[in-house]
Amino acid sequence: MDLIAVIAASIRRERERAGLSQTELAKRAGLAKSTLSQLESGAGNPSVETLWALGTALNIPFSRLVDPPRPPVRVVRAGEGPVARSDRSDYTTTLLASCPPNVRRDLYRVTAEPGEPRLSDPHPPGTTEYAVLSTGRALVGPPEEPVELAPGDFITYPGDAPHVFEALSPGTSAVFLMEHG
C-alpha cells in the first residue's frame, strides 16, 4: 500500500473512531473541508504540518496517520520508510517505529538542510521529545533558547510547546523519540 493510500485510510479510520464529521475535524485542524475530503479520498499529498494538525485535532500521534500495517519483525533501510516533507523548510521526517495501542511513543529519522528553520506547533499535552544528532550541526529545542547540537549530542524538551529544528550545516540528520502523554 503506498503512503498516500495509508494516510487516506488512516485519516478516515481515526476520524470515525473519534466520532467526528469531516466538517468538525477540518475545523479543529484548521483545514478546509474540501482539503480533508481530498486527503480521505487519497487525492492529496499532505505536508508534515497538515498531518501534525490532524494528529493534534484527533489527539493521536502523527505515526497513526502514516504508519502502514506491519509484520512483527521490521527493518527500515536508509532511504526507505514513510516520509513526510515540510512545506516551510528543507526538512523531512521518516517514521522508523510507531507505538502499539496504549503505548505512546514514536521514533523518527529527520534530515534537514540549512535555510528556513522548522518551527513546530505544540503537540498534544504531555508530549516530550528526545533527540540525538547524527550528522551535521543544528539548533534544537524551545525557539527562545535553542541549543546548538553536534553529532552524538542529546537533548530533551517539552513537545507540547512550540519548538524548533534548524540545520546549520548541509546533510544534518537526527533521530527523534516522541513520548505522548
Sorted by where each starts, the structural domains of the chain and their CATH numbers stand as 3-66 (1.10.260.40), 83-179 (2.60.120.10)
Strand partners, 97: 107
**Mean pLDDT taken over the chain:** 89
pLDDT the model gives residue 70: 61
pLDDT tens digits, 111-165: 999 999 999 999 888 888 999 999 999 999 999 999 999 998 899 999 999 999 9
CA distance 17 to 158: 28
pLDDT the model gives residue 61: 85
In this prediction the pTM is: 0.58
CA distance 19 to 46: 22
Q: Answer yes or no: is pLDDT of 99 > 80.
A: no
Q: Answer yes or no: is pLDDT of 22 > 80.
A: yes
Q: Answer yes or no: is pLDDT of 76 > 90.
A: no
% of the chain at pLDDT higher than 90:
62
Q: Answer yes or no: is pLDDT of 101 > 70.
A: no
**Concatenated DSSP letters for 106-150?**
EEEEEEE-SSS-EEEPP-STT-EEEEEEEES-EEEE-TTS-EEE-
Residue 152 three-state SS: coil
Q: Cβ distance 26 to 53 under 8 Å? A: no
CA distance 61 to 97: 12
Q: Cβ distance 64 to 103 under 8 Å? A: no
Q: Cβ distance 66 to 97 under 8 Å? A: no
Q: Over range 13-32, report the average pLDDT.
A: 95
Q: Over range 26-36, report the average pLDDT.
A: 95
Q: Cβ distance 75 to 142 under 8 Å? A: no
Q: Distance of alpha carbon 149 from its chain centroid, rounded?
A: 20
pLDDT the model gives residue 116: 93
pLDDT level of residue 96 (50, 70, 90 thresholds): confident
